Copies of this chain bind each other. A is one copy, B any other.
């Protein structure tokens, strides 16, 4: 059983509703859009991610015989629904912002147009996929913005929410501009560069710290990065100096050391001095240990001699905003625009496009959300990515997506690059869309 490909990763009501739609012959074209209602705390922008996984999910949508048998024996579902599920393939159209696009609340990130039962059934997993990676990319981009070009590495697997979260967090952070990850499977599946050092247990399993360092160097002569805070950081740095001389005779160079506890800036300065004076100037300093974008910024501002940063739990779990206030809402059925008016949760109706406008220096100036038929000048952000269940182009590689992401980050206005909350970016609702909303409201 592989939960990451199962169509039953869905809410019960998706099946129940599909059954009702089928019973009523309601299989006309439905239009759903995924968007975020409001920015989470501590965010000035969002960065889209997860589209690739959504398209893979839709392309491979099917229910297995084992799942069908279980649904059947549950006695909950009609034979009509079971037949529908047995034959299920996704046949719809998808328009979306490319992954790595900067976006804002109320802007549709993806639109799915498909027969109603299909478009409804995929809701839970589409949200599950887009919420997580968009949330992580949006968080990771903040570290990228303040790291001053120093490499960032994802160390978050152990506290990611399950295996898939670990894998997706590695992908979303790499997309946002991280240099790589420690998660091996992400290297295999996505080709993301892998980074790693050693654990405290490695040092502890040896009777002597310097012996642990020496063994490690002999095993990984091309990647000697030593963890030096197991007992006393500066004492360990002295040992690294001694070891460096011994290893030099064997042609092995110490590539770096890792600091994982205490006052990282202070330790980095002391250790840098010890290494430089001890003739090990080439050894770089990697900092880790409960880092987030604020720590990274402060360490960079302090001019601490740290060369790279490993960011784990805070980024992987998006600890200060572990979910997005996102929604996947029906915007049109059988050509009739819809609008939800629940208190505090009202939505803009119909198929929409987002147009982006830049200021003279190429930075983002404002966006306009309008109806799809209301064609404006400006850069339209949603593009067709799937037609009739087939992708319109092969999937862009992560290298290409990272170029897009980097360009997007360069276009951020200076104010939005801050970690602190600044006045919201200017997102306008066009007269055409406002008028459509009024028309929809009048029809009730």
Is A52 part of the contact surface with B, judged by Cβ < 8 Å?
no
Decide: B187 and A74 in contact? CB cutoff 8 A: yes
Encode contact with B along A189-228: 1 for CB under 8 Å, 0 otherwise.
1000011111111101101000000011011100100000
- Specify which chain B residues have a CB less than 8 angstroms from the CB of A189 in the assembled complex: 1, 3
Docked CA distance A341–B204 (Å): 10
- Map CB proximity to B onto A178-196 as digits: 1 under 8 Å, 0 otherwise: 0000111101110000111
- Tell which of B26, B127, B313 touches A158, judged by Cβ atoms closer than 8 Å: B127
CA A319 to CA B317, docked complex, whole Å: 10
Q: Can you name the residue of chain B whose Cβ is closest to the Cβ of A32?
A: B201
- Say which residue of B129, B169, B195 sits within 8 Å of A12 (CB atoms): B195
Please determine whether B159 and A340 come into contact, CB atoms closer than 8 angstroms: no
Contact (Cβ within 8 A) B199 A155? no
A423 part of interface (Cβ distance < 8 Å):
no
Is the Cβ of A336 less than 8 Å from the Cβ of B168?
A: no
Most buried by B among A10, A155, A184: A184
Can you tell how many copies of this chain the complex includes?
2
* Bound complex: CA A182 to CA B182 (Å): 34
User: What is the CB-to-nearest-CB distance from A140 to chain B, in angstroms, rounded to a whole number?
Assistant: 14
State the CA gap A12–B23 with chains docked (Å): 52
> Of the candidates B74, B164, B317, B333, which one forms a contact with A3 in the assembled complex, judged by CB atoms under 8 Å apart?
B164
User: Does the CB pair A338–B204 fall under 8 Å?
Assistant: yes
Cross-chain pairs A/B with CB under 8 angstroms, 19 sampled:
A2-B2, A8-B184, A8-B188, A13-B199, A23-B215, A24-B215, A26-B205, A124-B157, A125-B163, A127-B159, A128-B157, A131-B158, A160-B161, A161-B164, A163-B164, A201-B329, A261-B342, A262-B342, A317-B317
Q: Interface of A with B (CB < 8 Å)?
A: 1-6, 8-17, 19-21, 23-24, 26, 30, 32, 67, 70, 74, 76, 78, 116, 120, 123-125, 127-129, 131-132, 155, 157-169, 182-185, 187-189, 194-202, 204-205, 207, 215-216, 218-220, 223, 229-232, 260-262, 313, 317-319, 322-324, 326, 328-330, 333, 336, 338-345, 444
